[in-house]
Amino acid sequence: MSNKSQVRVRFAPSPTGDLHVGNIRTALFDWAYARHTGGKLIFRIEDTDKERVTDQYIQAAIDTLKWLGLNWDEGPEVGGEYGPYLQSQRLDIYKTWTEKFLNQGDAYHCYCSSAELEERRQHQMKNHQAPGYDGKCRDLTTQQVADYKSAGREPVVRMRMPKGETVFVDAIRGEVKFEHEYVPDFVLARADGSPLYTLAVAVDDILMKVTHVLRGEDLLSSTPRQIRVYQAMQVAPADYPIFAHLPFVMGQDNAKLSKRNGEVSIAWYREQGFLPEAICNYLALLGWSPGDDKENITMAELVELFTVERVNSSPAKFDIKKLEAINGDKIRALKLDEFLDRSLPFLLSAKIISGSADEIKVLKSALPIIQERIVNLAEIPQMLNFLFVKDFTVSPEELPKILDDASQQVLKVALAKVESLTDWDHQSIEAVLRKALIDELGLKPRIAFSSLRIAVTGSHISPPLFESLELLGKERSITRIKAVISK
């Protein structure tokens, strides 16, 4: 894809909330391409809409990229020679270019009111015409301008679209053509002088020497407008960025991914205990493939293998079940100390532990027995709560399941057997209970052990039973079984 001396890509969100799946997929591809080519990743914030893009959301975007490991070479907290990297700090730059475009005749002042524009739009639609600006203010006389000004009208600035067409080669979609009759004159700056997206993004990409623009397919239609700005800036076509429009991410209902069909912010996935490397691994597969049906990849492998040529133009479907499967694989691949470090914030936040040395010792023994059973870290507090809770009780929802005669009989037999044990390890516990409950009573394992599991852990969902009993200790295990029998 690259025919530039050094690749310079940019991730330029307008964070009006937490970053979502689509944002991060774009950031990931930008990052991977920059790292694969030895290029630079620019992180730029589009924050000219100060009512919606708050400092809080900007900081959240920075924190999210850091957590995911998507480091940038220029941008907030890093700096760089082409800054500033917040558009709100570049307003004078946009104003200068707007004035230049006006002086060159590439742009003009438009005095049409919103009501007039809407009225003409309705007329166009009624007459089956393509809706868009009709050029009313393109060639105003001096007197018409004076009349508008005397009426107190404040103009926007519009770019003139010439007759003809815009043709460019998209690195994913091939040649793309836009007829200008469907690309009407567009607004560059509002009446208060503030820039619109099409002006700011095009000016910034040129001034920051961006060589490749990887972004979502939804922005494909804005490309001829940006190219028109490049032309007005008198940039040679060879110096235009190369565009690569990434495929849509769809929900399971085949509609574009949105809050309605399951998309939530990356912050939500973080809170639910998804690992950053699992999120990146899964999002990399949405529209791109490393080949050979390979799905479990590391960040290093992504950097090595990523090329834009392998990005598919067809929509990708988001499947949280597949993300969970990849997350489970990544959890199982963690070494114990790393698994401990990842788990601690969830246990501390849930107030399951305080972080004492004794608790950490128990935790290091307990984590290996749940590592194969969980798909996200948020499951850990519920899984291990029984080991640390001070005043243990079986929940009211679970208790009725073990108060019937059959369950009570199982618990009494189990109690007698474990009380007689001298070696308290999971192998000895399993041997004596299997002999008594399965071989002698003839029970199926699920029936034999479910009531005992609830009695000692408080839930029918828990780590492996015999290992749980070993970790809990003989005294506490017996106390809990007796408490349920006494009820």
139 assigned ligand-binding residue: yes
259 assigned ligand-binding residue: yes
Compute φ and ψ for 86, nearest 5 degrees.
-110, 125
At 263, the pLDDT band (50, 70, 90 cuts) reads confident
Question: How does DSSP classify residue 38?
Answer: T
* 412 tagged catalytic: no
112 assigned ligand-binding residue: yes
Question: Poorest-confidence range of 77-86, 286-295, 344-353, 448-457?
Answer: 286-295
What are the tokens at 437?
């409950």
- Radius of gyration of the chain from its Cα atoms, rounded to whole angstroms: 31
Q: DSSP of 188-229, one letter per residue?
A: EE-TTSPBPHHHHHHHHHHHTT--EEEEEGGGGGGHHHHHHH
Residue 306 region, left (φ>0) first, then alpha (ψ -120 to 50), else beta?
Answer: beta
Residue 91 reports pLDDT greater than 90? yes
User: 462 or 453: which carries more pLDDT confidence?
Assistant: 453
Average pLDDT over residues 205-216: 97
CATH class of 335-389: mainly alpha
**What gap in Å lies between CA 237 and CA 150, rounded to an integer?**
42
Residue 38 reports pLDDT greater than 80? yes
110 assigned ligand-binding residue: yes
At 256, the pLDDT band (50, 70, 90 cuts) reads confident
Q: pLDDT tens-digit profile of 289-311? A: 988 888 999 999 999 999 999 99
Residue 431 reports pLDDT greater than 80? yes
Residue 3: what pLDDT? 59
Q: pLDDT tens-digit profile of 127-156? A: 888 888 988 999 999 999 999 999 999 999
What single-letter amino acid sits at 328? G
**What gap in Å lies between CA 189 and CA 196, rounded to an integer?**
6
The CATH architecture annotation of domain 399-486 reads Orthogonal Bundle (1.10)
Q: pLDDT tens-digit profile of 10-28? A: 999 999 889 999 999 999 9
Average per-residue pLDDT in the chain?
Answer: 94
At 1, the pLDDT band (50, 70, 90 cuts) reads low
Give domain limits for the chain.
90-246, 335-389, 399-486
Q: pLDDT tens-digit profile of 52-74? A: 889 999 999 999 999 999 999 99
For CA atoms 29, 34, 35, 36, give the dihedral sign: positive
**What gap in Å lies between CA 196 and CA 409, rounded to an integer?**
75
Question: Among the CATH numbers 3.40.50.360, 3.30.460.10, 3.30.1360.120, 3.40.50.620, which is that of 90-246?
Answer: 3.40.50.620
Residue 487: what pLDDT? 74
- pTM of the full predicted structure? 0.92
Residue 252: what pLDDT? 83
Q: Which residues contact 449 (CB under 8 A, 6 or more apart)?
A: 433, 437, 465
Choice among 163, 177, 259, 335 that is catalytic: 259
Residue 248 reports pLDDT greater than 70? yes
Residue 5: what pLDDT? 79
Query: How many Cα atoms sit within 13 Å of 26 on the Cβ side?
Result: 27
Closest CA to 5 of 242, 171, 168, 211: 211
At 420, the pLDDT band (50, 70, 90 cuts) reads very high
Q: DSSP of 136-205, one letter per residue?
A: TTTT--HHHHHHHHHTT---EEEEPPPSSEEEEEETTTEEEEEEGGGS--EEEE-TTSPBPHHHHHHHHH
Share of the chain above pLDDT 90, in %: 82
280 assigned ligand-binding residue: no
